[in-house]
Amino acid sequence: MIDPEKIIYSINIEDVQNVAEQELERKLTAKELKLVEDKVGDYT
Quick: pLDDT tens for 5-32.
888 888 999 999 999 999 999 999 999 9
Q: Which amino acid is at 2?
A: I
* pLDDT of the residue at 16: 95
Q: CA-CA distance, 43 to 9, in Å (whole number)?
A: 13
Cβ partners under 8 Å of residue 21, min gap 6? 27
Mean pLDDT of 30-43: 87
At residue 40, the pLDDT reads 84
Q: Report yes or no on whether pTM surpasses 0.85.
A: no
Residue 43 has a pLDDT of 63
| pLDDT at position 34 | 93
